[in-house]
Amino acid sequence: MNLPENLKYTAEHEWIRTEADGTVTIGITDHAQAALGDLVFVEVPAAGRKVAQNEACCVVESVKAASDVFAPIAGEVVAGNQAVVDAPEQVNQDPYAAWLYKLKPANPADLGKLLDAAAYRKGVEAAGEN
């Protein structure tokens, strides 16, 4: 399982990278894209949308299933990645480069409540999902 150590994670298989400007970039983990299979459709939120923590704000759809992607923290969407909307397979090719959206956190302290790579790996293994 490919898990960059510099990212934060959620139990729902999202990754979160804090950027220098205080925004966060969000995508789905390598584990999530592998479980879904070949992605054929991605829907990202529009810039300016305010989202609550754990709110469904994206959709990723594969030949097997459609899944919601949840906001790991509350905030305002500052950008959606049109490139993955146009070419969803990018998420399968490199899920950590093919981000879904960027968020300005409502409360940056909430980032401290997210999982580190070791905790995420342990959760996936405990669920028998690896």
- How many residues in the chain? 130
**Lookup: tokens for 61:** 């759809």
User: CA–CA separation, 3 vs 121, rounded Å?
Assistant: 8
Question: Tell me: the pLDDT tens digits for 22-61?
Answer: 999 999 999 999 999 999 999 999 999 999 999 999 999 9
Report, as an integer, the average pLDDT of 101-121.
Answer: 96
Q: Per-residue confidence at 130, pLDDT binned at 50, 70, 90? A: low
pLDDT at 64 over 90: no
CB-CB contact of 39 with 88 (8 Å): yes
User: CA–CA separation, 21 vs 27, rounded Å?
Assistant: 18
Q: Per-residue confidence at 129, pLDDT binned at 50, 70, 90? A: low
Enter the pTM of the model.
0.94
Whole-number pLDDT of residue 2: 86
